[in-house]
Amino acid sequence: MTSSYSWSNLEDSAKPRAKTFLCLQVTCLVLALLVLIFTLVLFPIVFLNLVNQQVALTNGTLSFDQWLAPTPAIFKIVTVYNITNPAEVRAGGRPVVEALGPYYFREYRERVRVEEVYDQELWFGEKKWYEFDNSTTNKGNNGSTKLLDPVKDIFTTINLAYVGVAFNLTYSGTPAEIFVAVAAAMKEHEVSLFMNRSVNDVVFGYKDKFLTDLKIFMPTLSDTVQIVYNMSDRDIHTTSKILNGRKNVSDLGQYTQWQGYTKLPYWITPEAATINGTEGLFFAPNLDKTKPITTFVDDLFRANPMEFVEEEEVMGLNTYKYEIPQYVMMNATNNPLNKGFYAYGPNGMMNLTAAVMAPVFVSKPSFLDSEPWLQDEIGGLPPANKTTMDTNLWVEPITGALVKAMKQLQANVMIENFPKFPDLKNLRSTPRYVPISKIIETGGMDDELVGTFKNKVFKPRDDFTIGLWVLFAVFVIVGGVMGGLHYRHVSNHQKDGSLLIPDEGIGSKGSNVYGST
């Protein structure tokens, strides 16, 4: 038996309530759909816009506070290499080294004269200094009964002042300058290829008497030797500039001027001399795995790109892990773009000669990712290990905040035969690269900052997202209940008592809304 139904089949008193139930059902389902669209499509966009505002380097943001005065400890961990066979090296033989350390130095930073200019740049002076951390260095005594002390611990290494002067004068000096240099070396108790100096002197600098004597004849010569630059009070009065990300978040933290320089004076191409990249504490938010990030490394006087390696969870945060790509450290033959950095040595080396006025080349520890023969020429170095010796950054991709950093570099000095300098005339003519020190820089977030970061950035997002899903569920449930009530109400109040089956929806009076069976 087949029956047809319309609104006329309902009892007149039941029609208003049936319409109410149906309208509430439709309204709840429409609202549920809107909440779903907002949750999946619009909210991520809104959240990123909020992140962009919060990461800008402006007063009151977490990024600005950490830039102004980083709270987590930053360490430079220094290992020096004592040369155990100086006589053999002086005769042209293979150096053998032994590691001394590691020594932990806490890094401190002070920003002064901070000023926002044009609503997009921060101008500031900076002081950066290091203090020896005895408790961390000698925790457990490193398996030894002797306590490490960078002021008292003396080691034998290459005399940077002597080799630097010999290198520069051999290639660009006059005969008179070479004569003066040799005479000055003889005067200062026969300055030679080697020196015995404290760890503190070699790493953080000392006044060299040999260079002081030479300054009488060569006024532009610096009389200070150092590997890591402790910024002095005078550096506070030079101005660095970075973009604060207020107008364009993709420029967040990018240097436009460093220590008074708008172009780096050490390099010979515009690309190499360009100052860019961030100091590494933060990057532009919403990172793209396919694009490199760039850091400006003041120890290397240059900007370095780093590329995505993999995703990795660190301290409960999802991060992107980055590393220095090999092309950055290739010589100019294999990567012509590196000719601006005087990259005419072996692959895997950065030539800092132009910046420090001595033939200093920086590599990864144990010549990792360098020419294999470099490690073969030095005895006593541990084998290269990419897992434990590479430079990596772990960055939270949504905000661009640095979670963990491990920068690892090895400073080496190039020695070769310079016959006009008595103590260098027996060296072989092929350059040899002798390690002086390995320096590891660690930084990032500590547990307290991670907690603050999660509470200020991700907890509000997660709480709001949960609220949206709860609201979605409420609308779906209420819509379902209204649908059930509508179905039951219509079934109970149809004039002939037959089951009503939805068909074409609500139409004009007399239309067949529910169909027939």
If you average pLDDT over each of 163-172, 279-288, 381-390, 413-422, which comes out highest? 381-390
Residue 312 has pLDDT above 50, yes or no: yes
Q: CA dihedral defined by 215, 221, 222, 226, rounded to 10 degrees?
A: -120
Mean pLDDT to the nearest integer, 278-293: 90
Residue 487 has pLDDT above 70, yes or no: no
Bridge partner list, 516: 4
- Say how far apart CA 479 and CA 483 lie, in whole Å: 6
Residue carrying the six token digits 């995505």: 308
Task: Give the torsion sign (CA, 460, 463, 465, 468).
Answer: negative
What pLDDT sits at residue 486? 63
- Say how far apart CA 162 and CA 479 lie, in whole Å: 85
Residue carrying the six token digits 């990792």: 368
Residue carrying the six token digits 């051999």: 170
Contacts of 306 (CB under 8 A, 6+ apart): 292, 293, 294, 295, 322, 323, 324, 325, 391, 393
Give pLDDT tens digits for 95-127.
999 999 999 999 888 888 889 888 889 999 888
Q: Give CB contacts under 8 A, 24+ apart, made by 221-226.
A: 221/357, 222/357, 225/160, 225/161, 225/164, 225/358
What pLDDT sits at residue 18? 62
What whole-number percentage of the chain has pLDDT above 70?
82
Task: Give the torsion sign (CA, 270, 273, 276, 280).
Answer: positive
**C-alpha distances in Å from residue 274, one per residue of 117, 123, 302:** 21, 18, 8
- Say how far apart CA 80 and CA 365 lie, in whole Å: 12
Residue 514 has pLDDT above 70, yes or no: no
At residue 190, the 3 state secondary structure works out as: coil
**C-alpha distances in Å from residue 503, one per residue of 16, 100, 430, 490, 492:** 19, 85, 91, 14, 18
Q: Are 150 and 77 in contact (CB under 8 A)?
A: no
What pLDDT sits at residue 386? 92
Give pLDDT tens digits for 240-251.
999 988 888 888
What pLDDT sits at residue 231? 53
- Tokens found for residue 4: 């047809």
- Tokens found for residue 399: 């905000």
Contacts of 135 (CB under 8 A, 6+ apart): none
Residue 141 has pLDDT above 70, yes or no: no
Length of the chain: 517
What one-letter code names the amino acid at 124? F
- Say how far apart CA 271 and CA 326 lie, in whole Å: 18
At residue 125, the 3 state secondary structure works out as: strand
4 Cα distance to chain centroid:
73
Selected residue with higher pLDDT from 123 and 496: 123
- Say how far apart CA 86 and CA 331 lie, in whole Å: 30
- Say how far apart CA 165 and CA 182 lie, in whole Å: 10
What pLDDT sits at residue 51? 67
Q: Are 304 and 294 in contact (CB under 8 A)?
A: yes
The count of C-alpha atoms lying within 13 angstroms of the C-alpha of 278, restricted to the half-sphere facing its C-beta, is: 25
- Say how far apart CA 182 and CA 184 lie, in whole Å: 5
Residue carrying the six token digits 């101008």: 123
Bridge partner list, 406: 392, 442
Residue 326 has pLDDT above 70, yes or no: yes
Residue 505 has pLDDT above 50, yes or no: no
Give pLDDT tens digits for 462-483.
777 777 777 778 767 777 777 6
CB atoms within 10 A of CB 20: 14
